[in-house]
Structure formats: structure tokens, C-alpha cells
């Protein structure tokens, strides 16, 4: 009998992590004029952050907020990551696609666009500014003007707003506004709204119909929920959807311990009247602030911490995304197309293509590799035992507990699925481009000849792969 697998699978990449939460939001919110329209279905989430040395931008995407793709970076014409700095990037979406904004080490503001949150192009610059680590650019699309605006805190603690697409406009400093952490901008009810942390950890609000003249207008500020002021110890994060606005804050619990912080999500239909919705706890203490995005039925919350972001969906923790950064993140909800949820099921028979007399153990290992060859998901050491070498078999045979091997993962074009089979005669493998599954676009199955010899006098096996490609529920 052979060892089930003599070739070790490629190792997982050890990097930093981000936690992500998905929160089901309040019902009864009304859609008001001037709010972002509903996105076409399907849609997806895209998370943006800076990482690495030298520093680069990365984005990861998810169809449902549970499983996330391998990272993508905006590239220059030579295929190298565009220059970035430690300042966290901003990302936002409208029904046409995504815009990503960031500062390089010289304080130059950059933007790129993408139809799907992963293929970035049309890199532009919009001026040089005095910024620091608390100057994350925040993006909003003005549906009346059909223009993208960026807002950010300067190193002098003032807040600057300027239009960036389709063309760059004059920057405006909002009078009377100072803050020591990132500001956040959105568009709802036919106006731009800007939130920022002011004195006593309260949250101030300014509005503008054109991005140039800013006022408190008829809004109640500082923001409150009921009779209690909304407070935060980190940067507030504002995000609109077709039914209203979400606001995310982070602060210690009433009984303070080092790890006892909580994210509070508030909901509003008009930006003036707010209702407490959900508390996500524990959160990372002393972070730069959470990010939030999504519709009322599936609100995703990203809680950035040391080297990671904790993600949550409908109030339940789902995954930690490795970011290898200490900085905060940005999150957007927009049109889909970049990532695909792939399910591989080995439920049908397999066989040796050179049958002989005798018996053997056969091992199966399956890996999903991203474009850098990093393992994103795998089936490890699935064994079918004491098999007749002259006939076909199911993978459940001789396997303790029965069942069939299955791989669930999120793939993009240009990645690879590798199937390894090990028998008495050694190891064989087969690489299948993820484009093969994505292009099929539905549930089906096909036979694969696993015939690339890796060791010994290995013989090929025919393995039937059943698969489906579709969105996460």
C-alpha cells in the first residue's frame, strides 16, 4: 500500500488579517429622492487597504460577505503596483462601477476606476495636499451632477472636499470644521453629507448640494439617537444605500477592559434622525474605525485591527482577512462580475487509466491557487482505501465516516485549480484554469485525466469533477 500523498501541498501564505461582520439592518426605512438607486443584481462587496513593503494598494471582493477573493492591486503600464503611502485608501461604488482613491508618499491624490472592483484602470492625479495618517480619502457620487467627490482631513485637521471625476475641480476647505481622525462623505436626499468626530467624541454633520457651499442646514448636529448623543472614539464611517444611511462607530464598552470595545451601527432615512440598530462586540480596541456597506438585508461590517480585518455578516462574525497592515480599511457595495463562488464536488467514480491486478490506497488533494501561486483553499489528504486496481471506485469507499470530498472557494479569472492523485505507483497532477469553470457558468461535470507525473512510475487516473458556479446565498 502507498502513502496517501507523498507530495506536500503548497503552503498557505501567512499574513495579517481583517475581521468582517454582516449585519441585518432595520426594516421600514423609506427610499427618498436623491438616494443611490438599487444596484443591478447580482452585486458584491469590495474591501480596500494598503499593505506590504514597498506599500501597495490591495482590494478583495466577495459576493455575499462570507468568502473573499485573492487580492488585486492597481498596476502601472509596466505591471507594477502604483505608488501608495501608509494613509488608508477610500473606495465607493455606483451602479456603473467602483472608484478607488489614495495618497502617495508625496501627498498626491490618485484615483482609478473599475467596472467590477478588481480590474483597475484610468489612473488620474488630482493635486498635492498636506496629509498624514488620519487623512483617508472618502468618496461619494453626486447623482444630480454625475460627479465623484473626495473628502479628506488635512494634516492641519481641516476637512477638504473636491470633485475628481469626470474632471478635477477646485478644492474647498469646509469652514468651522476640525477633526483629528478620518472624515466620511456620502450622497443622499439630493445632497452631499459629511460626518466627522468633533469635541467630546461627538459626531458633527455638514451638508452641501453642490460640494462647494457647506452648512448644517436643517440637520440636527451633533448627531443623536433618541435623546442620547452618538459618540465614537474612532473615525465615523457613513455609507448610503437605496433605503437610507448607515453610520458605524467604535468605542469602549461601559465596563472598560483592554479588549472590551464595541462597534455600534446606526440607521437613518434622512441623515438627521438616527436609530440605534446593532452592536458588534468585541471589536479591536484602539483601531482607526470600522467600515460598513450593503443593503438592509445584508450589511457587512469590517473591523480593522493589527494585521487583519474582522468581517461580520448579519451581526455574526464570518472571516478574518489578512491585510498585513495596522491601518484602517474602506468598504463598498457595488456591481458584481469580478469574483465567482466555485463548488467542486467529487461525487462520481474515478479509475486508473492503466488497470492491473492488485489493490491500493488512493489519495486525493485539491488546491485553489491564486495568480501568485498562493493556496486559497484546499482538500487535504482525502483517502479511499483498499481499492481494486482494475475497476472504477467512489471516493467514499473505505473512507472513515463516508461522504465525498468537496471544495468551496471564491475564484477569479487567471487562477488555477490543481488536482493531485496518489496511488501505489506515485503521484500525478492536473492543472485546470479557473476560466474553464467560470466560462461554463452553470452546474455540470466533466472527466479529467490527471496525468502529469510527479514521482515514481506514476500512472494516470481519470477523475470526474462535478461543479457549480454562482453567488453565495
Residues 70 and 395: their CA atoms lie apart, in Å, by 29
Give Cα separations from 384 to 150, 367, 401, 421, 428 (angstroms): 57, 18, 12, 11, 16
Paired strand residues for 292: 301
> For 312-327, what is the mean pLDDT?
83
pLDDT band at 8 (very low <50, low <70, confident <90, very high): very low
Number of residues that make up the chain? 473
Q: Residue 35: what pLDDT? A: 58
Percent of the chain residues past pLDDT 90, beyond the cut: 66
More confident residue, 286 or 204: 204
CA 419 to chain centre: 27
Q: Where are the domains of the chain?
A: 17-336, 342-470
Residue 471 is predicted with a pLDDT of: 63
pLDDT digits (tens, 9 = 90+) for 103-141: 999 999 999 999 999 899 999 999 999 999 999 999 999
The average pLDDT across 72-81 equals: 92
Residue 438 phi/psi, 5° resolution?
-60, -45
Alpha helices in 288-329 (DSSP H): none
- Cα separation, 311 vs 293, whole angstroms: 11
pTM: 0.86
What number does CATH give the domain 342-470? 2.60.40.150
Q: Please state, as a whole number, how many other Cβ atoms lie within 10 Å of the Cβ of residue 77.
A: 6
Task: Give which of 103, 183, 185 is closest to 139, Cα–Cα.
Answer: 185
Query: Phi/psi at 90 (nearest 5 deg)?
Result: -120, 150
The tens digit of pLDDT for each residue in 436-473 reads: 999 987 778 889 999 998 877 889 999 999 999 976 43
Split at pLDDT 50, 70, 90, the class of 325 is confident
**What H or E segment, with its residue span, contains residue 434?**
helix 434-440
Q: Provide the CATH number for the domain formed by 17-336 in this structure.
A: 2.120.10.70
d(CA 44, CA 336): 5
* Mean pLDDT score across all residues of the chain: 87
- Beginning with the edge strand found earlier in the chain, give each strand of the sheet holding 43-51 in spatial order: 56-62, 43-51, 330-335
Return the beta strands (E) in 291-415 as ranges.
291-293, 299-305, 308-313, 316-322, 330-335, 340-345, 350-352, 359-369, 375-388, 406-411
Report pLDDT digits (tens) over 362-414: 999 999 999 989 999 999 989 998 999 999 999 988 766 668 999 999 999 99
Amino acid at each position: 500500500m502507498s502513502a496517501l500523498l507523498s507530495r506536500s501541498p503548497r503552503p498557505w501564505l501567512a499574513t495579517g488579517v481583517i475581521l468582517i461582520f454582516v449585519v441585518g439592518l432595520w426594516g421600514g426605512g423609506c427610499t427618498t429622492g436623491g438616494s443611490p438607486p438599487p444596484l443591478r443584481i447580482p452585486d458584491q462587496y469590495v474591501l480596500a487597504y494598503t499593505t506590504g513593503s514597498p506599500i501597495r494598494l490591495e482590494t478583495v471582493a466577495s459576493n455575499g460577505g462570507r468568502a473573499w477573493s485573492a487580492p488585486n492591486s492597481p498596476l502601472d503600464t509596466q505591471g507594477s503596483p502604483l505608488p501608495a503611502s501608509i494613509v488608508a485608501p477610500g473606495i465607493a461604488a455606483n451602479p456603473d462601477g467602483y472608484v478607488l482613491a489614495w495618497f502617495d508618499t508625496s501627498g498626491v491624490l490618485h484615483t482609478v476606476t473599475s467596472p467590477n472592483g478588481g480590474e483597475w484602470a484610468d489612473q488620474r492625479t488630482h493635486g498635492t495636499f498636506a496629509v498624514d495618517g488620519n487623512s483617508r480619502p472618502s468618496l461619494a457620487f453626486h447623482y444630480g451632477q454625475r460627479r465623484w467627490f473626495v473628502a479628506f482631513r488635512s494634516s492641519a485637521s481641516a476637512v477638504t472636499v473636491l470633485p475628481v471625476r469626470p474632471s478635477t475641480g477646485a478644492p474647498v476647505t469646509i469652514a468651522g470644521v476640525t477633526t483629528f481622525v478620518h472624515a466620511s462623505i456620502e450622497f443622499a436626499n439630493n445632497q452631499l453629507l459629511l460626518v466627522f468626530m468633533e469635541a467630546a467624541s461627538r459626531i458633527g454633520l455638514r451638508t452641501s448640494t453642490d460640494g462647494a457651499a457647506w452648512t448644517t442646514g436643517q440637520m440636527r448636529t451633533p448627531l443623536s439617537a433618541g435623546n442620547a448623543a452618538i459618540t465614537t472614539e474612532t473615525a465615523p464611517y457613513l455609507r448610503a444605500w437605496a433605503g437610507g444611511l448607515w453610520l458605524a462607530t467604535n468605542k469602549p464598552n461601559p465596563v472598560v477592559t483592554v479588549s472590551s470595545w464595541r462597534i455600534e451601527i446606526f440607521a437613518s432615512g434622512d441623515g438627521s434622525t438616527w436609530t440605534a440598530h446593532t452592536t458588534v462586540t468585541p471589536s479591536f480596541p484602539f483601531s482607526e474605525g470600522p467600515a460598513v456597506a450593503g443593503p438592509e438585508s445584508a450589511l457587512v461590517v469590517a473591523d480593522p485591527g493589527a494585521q487583519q480585518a474582522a468581517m461580520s455578516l448579519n451581526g455574526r462574525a464570518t472571516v478574518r482577512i489578512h491585510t498585513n497592515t495596522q491601518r484602517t480599511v474602506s468598504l463598498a457595495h457595488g456591481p458584481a462580475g469580478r469574483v465567482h463562488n466555485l463548488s467542486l464536488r467529487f461525487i462520481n467514480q474515478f479509475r486508473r487509466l492503466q488497470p492491473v491486478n492488485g489493490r491500493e490506497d488512493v489519495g486525493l488533494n485539491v488546491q485553489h491557487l491564486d495568480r501568485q501561486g498562493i493556496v486559497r483553499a484546499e482538500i487535504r489528504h482525502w483517502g479511499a482505501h483498499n481499492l481494486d486496481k482494475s475497476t472504477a471506485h467512489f471516493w467514499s469507499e473505505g473512507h472513515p465516516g463516508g461522504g465525498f470530498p468537496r471544495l468551496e472557494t471564491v475564484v477569479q479569472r487567471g487562477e488555477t485549480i490543481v488536482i493531485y492523485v496518489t496511488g501505489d505507483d506515485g503521484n500525478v497532477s492536473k492543472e485546470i484554469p479557473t476560466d474553464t469553470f467560470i466560462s461554463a457558468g452553470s452546474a455540470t461535470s466533466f472527466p479529467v485525466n490527471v496525468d502529469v507525473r510527479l514521482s515514481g512510475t506514476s500512472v494516470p487516473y481519470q477523475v470526474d469533477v462535478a461543479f457549480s458556479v454562482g453567488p453565495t446565498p
